């Protein structure tokens, strides 16, 4: 394709003078000569400053479920703008959106809004602690739940050793996370109910919450065995632990009722963001009435920009479309065709591979079977993926350079996107083999 990034590179040097790493979020920095600046996005594609077009499978890390600048949602957002913004008071539309969420996700009996996934998960964890009167919590290895201290723990370190289920090498994901917060945290591997029960038993009466993504949208879509999710539900009930299912990525994407519908499980609390407003900034916490009614009994929640009229109107329209049209079926069908097309190309070259997650947010993995937990992935060889992703970008297909991020599909990905993607994929695979 002969992609040049001259304008992005020049802008990067200018941006560096006022923005650390030249970007607004660490994740957007792709290196000195590969950091891309976007001019615009439409449907399933984006264009950079150099007018390179890309079929985009990042979709802002998931939000643009219907496609960029969806005219239906943008028209609703404009109406929301007419309402006037934020008022330090509530508006009528909050009820309509909460009612729609409750209809789609029965666990969300009551709903509160937030501004981001981070805020929603923070709020859910606080609710769980207030409800149980306990402080500690369990995270599943490989999950990402936002930028607050309690969530910023990981197993990912350079030169790491995988440790063992009973002694996982848990480290802060960031400098600046106080080591003392580690004392409240337990980390469990996905798909190991025995290990989870060991933790619950050893710390009975101390654990407020279990926080998990049953489809790990931050680790190539590694998917919990539904039997494991059922076991988690039962263990939480037995030990009085609040089950928080983080649907920030899976919500309103993998099914109308999210991963809970897909796996037949009901959370005590669940969190949403991303797809709920096609990219407008809004998030939500939903949950059991008795837990949610802790608001009003001394549990803090608020936020100046919460339920902004523009985002709320966008959420109302987006959720209506997802609920009442076959958008999610269209998205999943595209995802299946994309994966079939990739498989055909890889099989023709004898490259062993598998997919994890859901067709609407699938992870591509170069092994016969997908990983079943984070340490499987971490111990695997993902260099082929890394190289292939770089070549794909040169061919005008944007997946995340890090194989942990699934490929997000939107309703606007169409035949031409699919054709361009598979053409680019074939070239990228061949270049990777040759390298
Ligand atoms: N939870 C999950 C599952 C996420 O994927 C993310 C973001 N990728 C978050 C929480 C945090 O959301 P935000 O970036 O909106 O704060």
**Ligand 1 centroid to 419 CA: how many Å?**
31
- Res 157: pLDDT: 56
DSSP 390: H
DSSP 92-115: THHHHHHHHHHHH-TT-SEEEEES
Cβ contacts of 23 within 8 Å, gap of 6 or more = 15, 29, 35
Per-residue pLDDT of the chain (435 residues; tens, 9 = 90+): 568 999 999 999 999 999 999 999 999 999 999 999 999 999 999 999 999 999 999 999 999 999 999 999 999 999 999 999 999 999 999 999 999 999 999 999 999 999 999 999 999 999 999 999 999 999 999 899 999 999 999 876 555 667 777 777 888 889 999 999 999 999 999 999 999 999 999 999 999 999 999 999 999 999 999 999 999 999 999 999 999 999 999 999 999 999 999 999 999 999 999 999 999 999 999 999 999 999 999 999 999 999 999 999 999 999 999 999 999 999 999 999 999 999 999 999 999 999 999 999 999 999 999 988 888 888 778 899 999 999 999 999 999 999 999 999 999 999 999 999 999 999 999 999 998
**Residue 280: CB atoms within 10 Å:** 21
CA neighbours closer than 13 Å in the CB half-sphere of residue 392? 25
**Ligand 1 centroid to 144 CA: how many Å?**
7
Ligand 1 proximal residues by C-beta, below 6 Å: 61, 116-118, 121, 144-146, 213, 217-218, 246, 248-249, 273
Q: How far is CA 251 from the centre of its chain?
A: 9
pTM of the full structure? 0.97
- Res 376: pLDDT: 83
Burial 51-87 (b: 16+ CB within 10 A, else e): ebebbbbbbbbbbbbbbbebeebeebbeebeebeebe
pLDDT tens for each residue of 187-198 = 999 999 999 999
* CATH of the domain spanning 71-324, picked from 2.60.40.10, 3.40.47.10, 3.40.640.10, 3.20.20.70: 3.40.640.10
Quick check: is 230 catalytic? no
Quick check: is 274 catalytic? yes
**Ligand 1 centroid to 429 CA: how many Å?**
30
The DSSP element (H or E) to which 20 belongs, if any, is none
**Ligand 1 centroid to 248 CA: how many Å?**
6
Q: Which residue has the tokens 């309703």?
A: 411
DSSP 279-319: TSS-EEEEE-HHHHTTTTTT-----TTTT-HHHHHHHHHHH
**Residue 99: CB atoms within 10 Å:** 11
The alpha helices in 203-297, defined as continuous H runs, are 226-239, 258-263, 289-292
CB 108 within 8 A of CB 286: yes
Whose Cα sits closest to atom 12 in ligand 1?
117
- Res 159: pLDDT: 58
Residue 398 CA to residue 283 CA, distance in Å, equals 25
Which residue of 24, 61, 145, 222 sits with most ligand 1 atoms within 8 Å of its CB, as the best mutation to test the pocket? 145
Of 105, 387, 420, 159, which is closest to residue 270 (Cα–Cα)?
105
- Res 3: pLDDT: 87
DSSP 308-348: -HHHHHHHHHHHHHHHHSTHHHHHHHHHHHHHHHHHHHHHH
State which ligand 1 atom lies nearest to the alpha carbon of 117.
Answer: 12
Note whether ipTM > 0.85 here.
Answer: yes
Give the start-to-end residue ranges of the domains of the chain: 6-68+326-434, 71-324
User: Could you say which of 48, 246, 376, 420 is catalytic?
Assistant: 246
Return the bridge partners of 244, or none. Answer: 211, 269
- Res 374: pLDDT: 87
Domain 6-68+326-434 has what CATH class?
Answer: alpha beta
Quick check: is 246 catalytic? yes
Which residue of 249, 303, 363, 374 sits with most ligand 1 atoms within 8 Å of its CB, as the best mutation to test the pocket? 249
**Ligand 1 centroid to 353 CA: how many Å?**
27
User: Could you say which of 54, 131, 144, 385 is catalytic?
Assistant: 144
């Amino acid at each position: 394709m002969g992609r040049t990034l001259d304008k992005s590179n020049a802008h990067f040097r200018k941006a560096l003078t006022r923005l650390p790493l030249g970007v607004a979020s660490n994740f957007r920095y792709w290196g000195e000569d590969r950091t891309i600046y976007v001019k615009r996005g439409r449907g399933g594609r984006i264009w950079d400053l150099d007018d390179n077009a890309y079929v985009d499978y990042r979709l802002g890390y998931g939000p643009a479920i219907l496609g960029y600048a969806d005219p239906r949602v943008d028209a609703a957002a404009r109406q929301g703008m007419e309402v006037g913004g934020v008022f330090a008071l509530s508006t009528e539309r909050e009820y309509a959106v909460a009612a729609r969420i409750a209809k789609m996700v029965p666990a969300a009996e009551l709903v509160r809004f937030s501004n981001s996934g981070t805020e929603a998960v923070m709020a859910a964890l606080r609710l769980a602690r207030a409800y149980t009167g306990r402080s500690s919590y369990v995270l599943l290895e490989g999950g990402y739940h936002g930028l607050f201290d309690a969530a910023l723990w990981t197993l990912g370190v350079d030169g790491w050793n995988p440790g063992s289920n009973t002694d996982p090498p848990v480290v802060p994901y960031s400098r600046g996370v106080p080591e003392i917060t580690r004392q409240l945290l337990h980390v469990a591997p996905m798909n190991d109910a025995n290990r989870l029960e060991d933790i619950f038993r050893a710390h009975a009466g101390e654990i407020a919450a279990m926080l998990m993504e049953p489809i790990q949208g931050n680790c190539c879509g590694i998917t919990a065995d539904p039997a494991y999710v059922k076991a988690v539900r039962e263990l939480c009930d037995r030990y009085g632990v609040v089950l928080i299912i983080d649907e920030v990525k899976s919500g309103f994407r993998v099914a109308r009722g999210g991963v809970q519908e897909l796996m037949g499980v009901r959370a005590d609390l669940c969190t949403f963001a991303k797809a709920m407003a096609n990219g407008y900034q809004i998030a939500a916490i939903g949950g059991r009435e008795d837990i949610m009614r802790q608001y009003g009994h001394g549990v803090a929640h608020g936020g100046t920009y919460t339920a902004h009229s523009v985002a709320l109107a966008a959420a109302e329209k987006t959720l209506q479309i997802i609920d009442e049209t076959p958008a999610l079926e269209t998205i999943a069908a595209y995802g299946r065709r994309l994966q079939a097309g990739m498989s055909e190309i890889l099989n023709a070259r004898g490259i062993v591979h598998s997919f994890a997650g859901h067709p609407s947010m699938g992870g591509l993995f170069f092994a016969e079977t997908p990983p079943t937990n984070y340490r499987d992935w971490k111990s695997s060889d993902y260099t082929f993926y890394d190289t292939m992703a770089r070549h794909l970008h040169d061919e005008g297909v944007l997946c995340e350079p890090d194989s942990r991020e699934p490929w997000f599909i939107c309703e606007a990905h169409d035949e031409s996107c699919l054709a361009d993607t598979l053409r680019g994929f074939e070239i990228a695979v061949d270049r990777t083999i040759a390298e």
